[in-house]
Every structure is written in structure tokens, then in C-alpha cells.
Amino acid sequence: MKCMCLQAMTVVYGKYYNEIGPFHDTKYIIAMLDKCTDRSERDRLLQFIAKLILLKGNTKELIDANGIRVLIDLLTLAHLHTNRAVIHTQTNVIEAGPNMKRQSYKEWYCRLSEKQQGPFSFDEICDMYNQKHIDPNTRVWALGLETWRPLHSVAQLKWKLVGTGNVILDETKMASLVLDILIRICRYSPSRDNDGAVIRPLPRVKRLLSEANFLPHIVQLLLTFDPTLVEKTATLLTEIVQDNPVLPRMYLTGVFFFLLMYTGSNILPIARFLQLTHARQAFCSEALHSKELLQRSVLGPILPEAMVCYLENHGAEKFSEIFLGEFDTPEAIWNTEMRRMMIEKIAGHISDFSPRLSSNTRALYQYCPVPAITYPQLEAELFCNIFYLRHLCNISRYPDWPIKHPVELLKDVLQSWNNEIEKKPPSMSVEEALNVLNLSLPVDNKQHEESTIRKAYFKLAQLYHPDKNPNGREKFEEVNRAYEFLCSRRVSTLAGPDPKNIVLILQTQSIIFSRYSQELEPYKYAGYPMLVRTVQLETKDESLFSKTAGLLSAAAEVAYHTVKCSALNAEELRREGGLEALLEAFSRCSGILNKSSVPEDVAVQVSSNVLLCFTVAARFQSCRERVAQMATVISEVCRILYFKHLTKLCYTAAQCISALAADNDLQLQLIQHGALWHLLLFFFEYDYTMDEGGVERNEDTNQQEALNRLAREAVRACSRLGGYLSGDDATPSNNLVRASLSALLTPFVTRLMETVPPTEVLKSLNSNTRNPYLIWDNSTRLELLDYLNEQQKKQMKYGLSAVDPSFGAQFVYTIHKKELIVGNIFVRVYNEQPLFTIQNPKEFAQNLLSFIGSQVQYLHSKHSLPVQNSSIQAKFDDLEAVLEALGNLIKAYPGVEIMCVGHFKLLFSLLLLTNKPGIVMKSLLIIQFISGTKQCVDDLIQSEVLGSLLLLLLDATDTLDLVLGVLFGLMVNTGLVKEAFSKGCLVYLLQIFCSSFKSDSNEHIRSQAAENLNRIMSDRLVGPRIRTVLLKFLPPAIVDAFRESSTQPQMLFDSETQNPELIWNEDSRKVVTNSVKRMTSEFSSKQRADLNAVWVPPQADLEPIYAAANDELVVGGVFLRLFVSNPGWVLRKPKEFLIELLDTTLDHMNKDNVNTEHLETLVRAFSGLLRSQPLLADQLSGMGYLPRILKSMNFNDTVCRYGISLLHQAAMSQTCVESLSRLECIPPLQTSLVRRPELSEYICDTLSRLYASGVEDLVEQGLKCDLIPALLNILDPCIIRTPEEATVITSAVKANAVSALKSMSRSPFYGEKVNSILSKSDVWSQYKDQRHDLFLTNTQATGYLTGSSAISGSLTYQSYNSGSIPTPGKPPLWEY
């Protein structure tokens, strides 16, 4: 019933503890638990207590009621649980067999009959109780009990012997529940407040649990190895020890041994406890004050160094991951086998204690340090910082392993190096330690068992412990030192520096500096004293090349990386004498190299690393100066290059040479010691197909790739030796090297070294090439290789004195001796490949012009010789080739032609070599190319050199068309046109044009001549003058035809023609041709003597040219007689003809002695022109001729009728009528009508035309000058007229008069006034209603000027008095 009530209370309080509140009878529950003997009641009470503490207020009563002691007593019963489930783990060390029986220790004593009896085992006590020899009140004692106690008050005996009833919770579950209770109570009392400040005094529950009679029993619960109990125990311990003064002494409980013996995988709580406590244990005097983590950590002897570092640096989670896993990295080497070994070692160490707990659950562990565990997996490892250096240095397995703090690692490595160097034998030997522990030396070099050493230690420690033996303190301390020494790892270490460890230390430094140079750059390397000392000692070691540890190679590599990292290090190495030490090592190693050496040899490795060091040191001026003072450095470096089978070593040597080339003095030393011979030979080991093949490759596995890399570096080294590079690779220019490389590799390749990657240079040298820059094939390569091999052998065998003193600067390839080379370009090859890209065309052009200048004077003196030897002819051939190249260059590169500025006298002088047509033709082509460039033309004008070109117009035969084409191109500039004209260009062109008459083969030449004549006439400034001069030779029609086409003037010149514009026949041609030929011959003779001779044009026309037209009247190049007879002829320049015609006409009209015949022809030509081209009349108004015509009408009566004729024809144009309206044109007509009746018909026709236009101003003029009465007089039949007048006044005249009057009467402004005047006339009334259309036509009136009328009179007058009509007494005018 009691148990049921307790169960009910448990359920209710567990659900409603907040509502119920504090349970005030907690102390009674604790008392019941302490006194009860029923197992069911015990378990129910524990379950109820577990619910009670859900409320924090109940914990105080539990603590006050001594509940902690009661709970700890129950906790120890977990060691009695013998049928736990076995969990499969990877680290089960002790596996129980089915028949295995637990060993029972005799630790119990009983007081029977007031006498102490024992010791008894736990099983014997049980048997004694069952046999009634003892009862619950019998007093017993065992280790762990403070005093003798009744049997029923000892938890182990009480619940095993006295207890009744059935269990609800087995020992493990009960212990788990107790742990839960204790954990919750501890968490109610944290060690820190909300601000993180430590609470003092320590909470009471933690003080109680930290007491010596409680804490060990909690710790020893770990030895149950139950996963649940271990996990909760570790959690409880973590809660207890946080900020607890007992923390530094936790190691005495054996907790670290017990935790690490655990075989399960739920170790995170364990890891958290270890992280909190491992480095804060006072297990030795140096532990709390040492800076070394391994010395501070109590786990140092047990776990590998890396595991301790992981725990400290990465936390419990990462430590747990590593602890449970399989790791083999530079930061962690740990696996299941190592964990198994650790557990075995710890189990063996505490094997005397762990079985006792099943016999006496309150037994206490007596701490004893465990011997340091040496793991075979770490046998060759050196741990530093957080890394295993052997693994870290294994770059093939762990490439680029990250190092988060390289500076700290470097510091630790340097410290380890120093420690290793200064390492001394242990202060105590193994023999001395064994003697202190009263142990003899083992036979056959075997070691004592750890258990033997531990038992000897315990025995002496108990004997001399100061608490038991006040005089044994000194002996006790000696015993402790001996045991600690035997337990430490120092027993197995060497009695001095370990070369393998030093190699690892050096290799680690190389890795740090190579990967983290930027981070380390600000720091000066502090290890040079040790490094230099190491190099010196190893160099002097007689067994250097037989050692397995490459100490010297590693030291040289460190020197390389440190110097490469920072200029500070380079200076420091130099000050410490490191360069000298490295040179000494280098000399010793390089001296033993031979054809059988392999890359794995120590000598090769040391040489490579020293070379790398010198390579980097050479970046700094002070180091280069020091190297220059060390006489053997350069010779040793160059000697390395001889062993080309050591490809990587040669590559390193080439790098070194490239770096040393930054100094002028070193450049000279390098070339004197044969660096060029070796490096150039490497050029031809290159295979460009591999680089272009696209296949992945590596120099470690592909020998050709290694050779390719060496060849590329050799190119770079040569480039720096000669000073070809720029930017970061720039070095001083060395003329000696440049001259050598230019001769050996050709100038083109050396220029490539400045501009393109080494691969392009090497591809050019290993291919067959023929271009303007490079002629390179198998023969040239073989010739160079033979020379280089010969020089290399001499250098290696005899030294500097035996090699070419010019170092190859005088070397010339056989194939190149036959070539014409100008500006390092093969001229004839360039002519074969004119489209090949020239790198600097302007420079090449300048070189070509310089070559021409150097040859011209000599060749001018030789060209006239009748017989020329082969050498002279070769020079002419070279000159022709150079001219061809210059022409190709100018053609391919626009803008290059300006390089000819200042050289035109030179180029034009070549035109005088008329017996060398090839030179002349190529010179002409060059001149033709430059004719379109303003700068060249301007300089050509200043040079005044056209004379030689013009003479070619006479001398050239096959190239005449080219000469004309060149001249045509030049004649676009006024200055050149002016010079050409002054030097006879016109007469030379006429000579070509005329002398080739009717020759089909020369038709093209004549066309070119015509085009040139047209071009020079087209010049704005000089052209008019040239045309004027040309008109002295040829008729205007032919001259003007030049502008139309090149064939038109030929057709005109070659034909016999008679038309209004040209009268040309055979005689005219002969006269012109002979005259031009004569002038050409005379002037060319002068010009050959003096190229600057000036041609004087003829002063007068060539009269015979126009012999066929001597009697012709010519105006504007038009023969008027022929034009009047054929006015429909299409004139070339009608407007110009009109202007000149009017000027000539008016000039004739204004003369005192008028040539009426010419004037009549002029007027008739004018009328015919306007009739055939009416549009010209519209332009007449704007030419200013109408006022002059009106004025000429008043000059005299003879001229008047010609003026009326001109005015009559102009009146056909409305534009002219409007212009006349603004002039006083009607009064002269009215005057002439009155004074010259014989002109009435023409005047009336003109007036009719004028007034028919409807211009008001003309009406006004007519009113003012009384034109109406004059016209009415013509109509009046009553007026008596002379027979001549009667004959002239015909019906057509009257019809035109009526038409004019009617037009005037229709004027909007003046019509009324006109009608008023007309209405007063009786004559008008007879005509106003009649129509006279039959007498008025739209065609030109005929018969007027000739005296006959084509119009029949039909106008009648009612009182008309017919009579005879007299004939005119003056000659009739012309018909038209």
C-alpha cells in the first residue's frame, strides 16, 4: 500500500508541481529512504524524490536532510550490476567469456565477539550472513568507510543482504535516476551569475559533492562503462568542477583514466569535461605555469599531442569527431587501433583497482601517473604547434595543407629547432632510475613491465611519504623523479639532436615561406645563425654524400625561400655570411657532378637549392655585389649547364643566370665563362608541337616538357643577359651580348626576344623559315650547333682563352653571305613576299634610302661605261632590288612615303640612268606612290627636280606610259604644275601628242599625253596661262576637246574638218607638228645641259595653223560664215559664244568706220543663235548688254538699224522685255519710226512684240513719247508719202501697228488714257473693230531686211488711193 501511495504521489506531483508548490515534508521522505529496507519502497521513494526536485524550492530541504549522502550511497550500488547489455564497439578491450568469474578481493573486516576478524571477501561476507554468523547489526569496515558501521547502514551490504522485496529499478537504472537528480540540483545552483561573474562562496550542493567522501564515488561510477551512466556522470562532473577550487586536484580521482577507458561513442559530454579540466590540473609543479600545452595538460602522457591540441583549440565537438574517427593528416593522426592501444595501456595501469569495486563499492582509487604511451603510428613524427611535421612535409600526399597561423607555426618551429640543437642527454639515465626504485637492469636489453615499475614505486612512495616518514621527503622526491622519468617519452629519445627531426623542421620552414610569403614578408627571419651553422657543419662533414637525411639540401632550400620572401632576409643572410657558406656547399656538391649523376643525388639537390637561393638573392643590389666578389660563383653556375641530362638542375641554373644578369659586371663574367654556349644549345632541345598539342603534361613525368621548360628559361636568361626585356624583367643593356646574339640568332630573332614570349622565339628557331627577316633551315641550325658545340668543348676543356674572342659576334651563316641585307632585312626575299608584315616600316624605309644614297654617286660615275664588270653590275642589281623593296614598302604601308622627304633629288637623279630601265622604272613607281601625300609633294616642290622626269618624256620608250602616269599624278599641285610648265612640260606633251599621229600602237600614249595636258590646263592658277599658250599651237576646238575626253582631241587632230567651230586639214597638222618638234629639240638640248633651264613660250600664234581660214570672221572660236549658214550647229560653249559675239558686235557698232559687211554677219549670227537656242535670250537680260544696244541706236543712222535688229530679236524673251521696261526703250523706237520710215515694218513688229507682253511701264513710255500718234500716222491713208515710204508701209506694218495700239488700250492702268486718245482719231475708228490675224504670224517675219515681203496685203481702206510703190533706194537688209 505504501508503495502504491508513493507511486500515486509521484504521478500527481510530477504533473502539478507548480500548482501544488513546495513539498514541506521532503526531509521525511529522505529519512524514509535512508531507513527503509524494502527495495520496492526504495525505488518508489527515489522516483518521488525525482519529481520533488522539479521544483527548485524542494532542493534545499533535500540538502538539509543529508539527502546528498543518501543518494551517493545508492549511487555506488551501480558497481553490483553484473548483467548489463554488452554494446558492440570498436574498442572493447576486455571481452568476458561465458565461464569467466569475477575476482573477489578480501577487503572486509567484521567485529565478532568484540574481536576484529578478517579480511573477508564480499562473497565470504554474504556467506557468513546467510549462515547467521553475522546479522544486520554486526559492525563492519572496509577501505572507503570512515569508521566501523553496522552492517545495515552500509549500502552495499544493506541492499544485498538485509533488503527485502522486489526491485523496480535495477542498480544501473537507480544510479541513472540518482544522477539525474544530482544534475538537476547542480543546475539550480550555477557557478556564475547572469553577468558571467564567478559566484563565491561556491553553491552548497557543489561544495558537498566536491568533498572527498562523495566526489571519488561519483568519478568511479565511470568504471561501470555503462553508456548512460558514463554520459550522465561526465555531465554531472562538468557541472561540479566549473569554477570549483577542487578542479586542479581532479586528476587524483583517476577521472581522466576512467574517462579515456570508455569504449562507447557517446563521448561528447566526456569531451566537454576534458576541455574544461585537462589543462588546469596541478599534476606536477610545472603544470600550471608552463607555456607548453603538452606540459600543462594532464592528458599529455596519454593522448597524442595533436589530440590534446584539437581538444584545446577546436573544442569538444571537433575532438569527439577526431576521437571516434579514422584520421591520418598533418593535424591529426588517430584511429581505432590507437584508441584500443590507449585503453589497453590505461586498463593495465588501473587493473589493480577496477575489480575491487565489485567487492567494495566504496573503495577509493589511489592515483599513480600512467607511463607515457608511445604510439607506433607516431614513431617517426615530430609534432610542433598543431602539426605533425612529417605529414605536413609530405606534399605529394598533402599538397597545400592549410596553415591558419603561419607566423605562430614558424615561431614554434624555430623554437623546436633550437630545442633540438640544444637537446642534451636526460639528467637521469634509465639505469639510475631503476636503481632508485630498487629494480635491477633487465637482461637482453628488455624493459621491465609497467606493472613491476608501478608496484616498486608504490612500495617506496608509501615508505617515504612525508606524512608517514617525516625524514623521507628527500627520498620520496627522488623516487617520484625516477618514476616520472621512466613513465615519460624521454626514455626512448636520442641523447642529442636528431638529424631527421632537423630535416623535418627545415622542410616545414620551406613550406611556410613558400606558401605564406606575403604574411611573412614584414618579419625578419631569425634562424639564420642556426641555418648558416648547419650548412657549414654539413658541408665539412666527410660523410655528406652517404647520409640518408638530406640536411644540407633542406637547409639550402630554407635559405632560398626565406630570401625570396623578403629583402630584409636577403640582407640578413648576407650579413650572417650565408652567401659564403652556401657557395662553399655549392662548390663541394657541383664539383662531384658527372654524367652519371641523377636528380636524387644529394649533390644535385644541394646544388639546385643553392642555385635557387642565389637566384633570389640576386634581386638585391648588395647581394649581387657580394656575389660579384666571390670569384668561383659564376664558373660553378655555368659548369652546371654542361650536364644537360640533369634537366631540372640546368633549369635552375638558367634561372640563376637570368637573375644574376641584372648586374653589368656579372653579365660580363657570365659570358666569359661560357654561359651563352650552354644556353643557346638548350634552344634547340625545344619541341613546339608539344606546347601546341593540347595534351596535359608535367615536367616530372614528361622529359620533353622538362626540356621545353629549360629552353624557355634559356631564352629568358639570354634576353636578360642582353638587356632585351622591359618592365620587371629589365636589365642593363649589354652590347657585347647583343652583338653575339644578333650574329648567332639573326637580328630578327633578337628583336623577337624583346617583344614575344619565349615560345615564339623557340618555334622560329626550330622551324624552317624564309621571310624578309629570317632565312632559317636545317643547314643554318646545323651550322650554328656545330659552332656552339665546338665553343662549349673549348670552354670546358681550356677555358676563356680558347674560345672565339668575339663570342660569336663575327659569325656569319653561309647562306646569308649571298643575300642583300639592308636594315637587317633580306631585301630580295622581301621583294618575293611584299605582303609580309614589316615591324618598323619607316625605319626600314630610312635604311633603304640610306643604302641608295651610298650607292648613287658611284653608280652614276659607272653607268656610262660601255663594258661593266660583274661587281659593278651586281651593285646595279642591288640598287634595283632596293628600289623595288622601297616601292613595295610604300605601297603596303601608307604613311611610309613621308620618309622620302629630303631624298627626292636622290630619287629623281636615278631617272637619268636611262640605260638601266629597271632602275628607272622602279624609281618611277616610287615617285608615283608618293604623289598623293601632301608632305612629299611640298618637299618635291622645294626640291625642283622635275627636269629629269620631263626628259624621260623624250628618252623613255618602254616606260613612257609609266612616265606619263607619274607626271599625271604629280600635276595636281599648282607648284608642280608651275615648275613643269617652266621646264617645258607643255611642249614635251605636245611632242608626244602630235608626233604619234595615226599610230595605233601609240594611241594609249597619246591619250595619256592628252590627259596630262588637260590636267595642267585645269589648274586654277597656272591653267589659264597654259591654255593661252596652248591656243598658240592648236585651235580652240581642239584645246577645249582636251577637257572632254582623251580621245576627242586625237580625233579632231587626226581628221580634216570644216564646221562653224573648226577648220582643220593636213597642212595645219604639219605646221603644228614641225613647230613643236623644233621647239622640243631646241629646249631639250638646253635642259640636258642644265636641268633647271626655263622654257620660254612663243610670243605669237602659229599663223600657218589658220592658213585655211585666213578670210574667215572668227568670234569665240566660231567661224561666223559657216555658223550663219548652219545656225543649228550645236556649239560647245553657246553662252560664251553669245557674250563674245555681242562684245564684238557692239565694238563694231561703236567704231567710226563701220564695216557693214562684218556687222551684218555678226547680227545675223546673233539672230540665228537666239533662234536655235531661245533660252539664251532669257540670260541676255542679266548680261548688261541691253542698255548698250539702246545706246548704240543713237550713235548714227547706219548703226541704228542693226541695233533695232538686235532689239527685235531680244523682244522674243519675256525676261528681256521686262528688263527693257526698266530702260527707255520706246523713245528710241519712236524716234526711229519717225526718222527712218523704211524701218517701219521691223519697228512695228518689235513694238507689237513688246506690248503683247502686257508690261505697264512700256505703255507709260509710249504715252510719254507720243508713240500713239506716230502709229496712227502709219494707219492714216490721207498722209502723202514718198514712193519709198509707200512701198515700206505695207499691210503687215499696219497690222503690227494696230496690234500694238490694241495691246496698249488693254492696259489696266493706262488703257483708259490710251482709249481716250484713240477715240479722238477718225483713223482708229476705221481699224479698231477689224481683225488682222491674217497679217500676224508666230514666225519670224521674212523679207523685211531683203526688201521683199512674204505677207500679202489684204488690209483695205475705204478711200485707198492705189498707186505705184517705189522701190527702196538702199540695199536691202539680210534675210533670216
- Give SS3 for 821: strand
Q: In 658-712, which ranges are E strands?
A: none
Whether the per-residue pLDDT at 1257 is higher than 60: the answer is yes
Least confident of 130-134, 454-458, 994-998: 994-998
Whether the per-residue pLDDT at 1332 is higher than 60: the answer is no
- pLDDT at 1356 (0 to 100): 33
Backbone angles phi and psi of 480, in degrees to 5: -60, -45
Residue 480 CA to residue 368 CA, distance in Å, equals 10
- pLDDT at 708 (0 to 100): 93
Query: Kind of pairing, strands 106-112 and 115-121?
Result: antiparallel
For 770, what's the count of Cα atoms within 13 Å in the CB-facing half-sphere?
11
Instruction: Write down the mean pLDDT value for the chain.
Output: 84
Residue 231 CA to residue 268 CA, distance in Å, equals 8
Residue-wise pLDDT for 584-607, tens only, equals: 988 888 888 888 999 888 889 899
Residue 1376 CA to residue 1374 CA, distance in Å, equals 6
Band (pLDDT 50/70/90 cuts) for residue 1368 is very low
**Cβ(1137)–Cβ(1131) under 8 Å?**
yes
Whether the per-residue pLDDT at 1375 is higher than 70: the answer is no
Q: Classify residue 1368 by burial, with Cβ atoms within 10 Å: 0-12, 13-18, 19+.
A: middle
Whether the per-residue pLDDT at 286 is higher than 60: the answer is no
The C-alpha cell that represents 699 in the structure block? 615536367
Whether the per-residue pLDDT at 493 is higher than 70: the answer is no
Q: What is the distance between the terminal CA atoms of the chain, rounded to a whole angstrom?
A: 166
Residue 1099 CA to residue 1029 CA, distance in Å, equals 9
Whether the per-residue pLDDT at 1102 is higher than 70: the answer is no
Whether the per-residue pLDDT at 1052 is higher than 70: the answer is yes
Highest-confidence segment of 547-551, 828-832, 1002-1006, 1255-1259: 828-832
Residue 101 CA to residue 81 CA, distance in Å, equals 14
Residue-wise pLDDT for 928-953, tens only, equals: 888 888 888 889 889 888 989 899 88
Record the pTM: 0.61
Whether the per-residue pLDDT at 734 is higher than 80: the answer is yes
Beta bridge partners of 327: 334
Average pLDDT over residues 914-919: 86
Band (pLDDT 50/70/90 cuts) for residue 571 is confident
- pLDDT at 811 (0 to 100): 93
- pLDDT at 267 (0 to 100): 93
- pLDDT at 546 (0 to 100): 67
Whether the per-residue pLDDT at 93 is higher than 80: the answer is no
DSSP 140-178: EE-TT-SS-EEGGGSHHHIIIII-BS--SS-HHHHHHHH
Least confident of 284-288, 841-845, 1012-1016: 284-288
- pLDDT at 290 (0 to 100): 52
836: nearest Cα among 884, 783, 892, 792 = 892
One-letter amino acid of 345: K
Average pLDDT over residues 187-202: 90
- pLDDT at 211 (0 to 100): 93
Average pLDDT over residues 112-134: 88
Average pLDDT over residues 580-585: 89
Q: Classify residue 488 by burial, with Cβ atoms within 10 Å: 0-12, 13-18, 19+.
A: middle
Residue-wise pLDDT for 324-360, tens only, equals: 999 999 999 999 999 999 999 898 888 878 888 888 8
Which residue in the block uniquely carries the three cell numbers 527485502? Answer: 164
Average pLDDT over residues 210-218: 92
The C-alpha cell that represents 550 in the structure block? 638530406
Residue-wise pLDDT for 639-665, tens only, equals: 999 998 999 999 999 999 999 999 999
- Beta-carbon contacts of 445 under 8 Å, excluding residues fewer than 6 positions away, are none
Band (pLDDT 50/70/90 cuts) for residue 98 is very low
Band (pLDDT 50/70/90 cuts) for residue 1043 is confident
H helices of 1173-1255, in order, are: 1175-1180, 1185-1192, 1197-1210, 1214-1221, 1226-1235, 1240-1252
684: nearest Cα among 787, 821, 793 = 787
- pLDDT at 1086 (0 to 100): 92
Whether the per-residue pLDDT at 1176 is higher than 80: the answer is yes
Whether the per-residue pLDDT at 410 is higher than 60: the answer is yes
Whether the per-residue pLDDT at 999 is higher than 70: the answer is no
- pLDDT at 1331 (0 to 100): 65
Least confident of 101-110, 422-431, 512-521: 422-431
- pLDDT at 1263 (0 to 100): 87
Give percent of the chain above pLDDT 70. Answer: 90
Residue 1289 CA to residue 1237 CA, distance in Å, equals 8
Residue-wise pLDDT for 231-278, tens only, equals: 999 999 999 999 999 999 999 999 999 999 999 999 999 999 999 999
The C-alpha cell that represents 100 in the structure block? 569467466
- Chain CA centroid to CA 678, Å: 35
Which has the higher per-residue pLDDT, 1313 or 867? 1313
- pLDDT at 1053 (0 to 100): 86
Average pLDDT over residues 907-924: 87
Residue 110 CA to residue 115 CA, distance in Å, equals 8
Residue 307 CA to residue 316 CA, distance in Å, equals 11
- pLDDT at 1370 (0 to 100): 34
- pLDDT at 1367 (0 to 100): 32
Average pLDDT over residues 94-115: 67
Whether the per-residue pLDDT at 395 is higher than 70: the answer is yes
Whether the per-residue pLDDT at 1362 is higher than 90: the answer is no
Residue 300 CA to residue 1366 CA, distance in Å, equals 165
Residue 499 CA to residue 505 CA, distance in Å, equals 10
Which has the higher per-residue pLDDT, 1158 or 489? 1158
- pLDDT at 1340 (0 to 100): 43
Residue-wise pLDDT for 550-567, tens only, equals: 788 889 889 989 988 887
The C-alpha cell that represents 1205 in the structure block? 535688229
Instruction: Please calculate the CA angle 58-59-62 and round it to the nearest 5 degrees.
Output: 95
- pLDDT at 97 (0 to 100): 40
- pLDDT at 1349 (0 to 100): 33
Band (pLDDT 50/70/90 cuts) for residue 509 is very high
- pLDDT at 496 (0 to 100): 65
- pLDDT at 266 (0 to 100): 93
Residue-wise pLDDT for 604-615, tens only, equals: 989 998 998 888
**Cβ(1155)–Cβ(1199) under 8 Å?**
no
- pLDDT at 1360 (0 to 100): 32
The C-alpha cell that represents 1210 in the structure block? 531680244
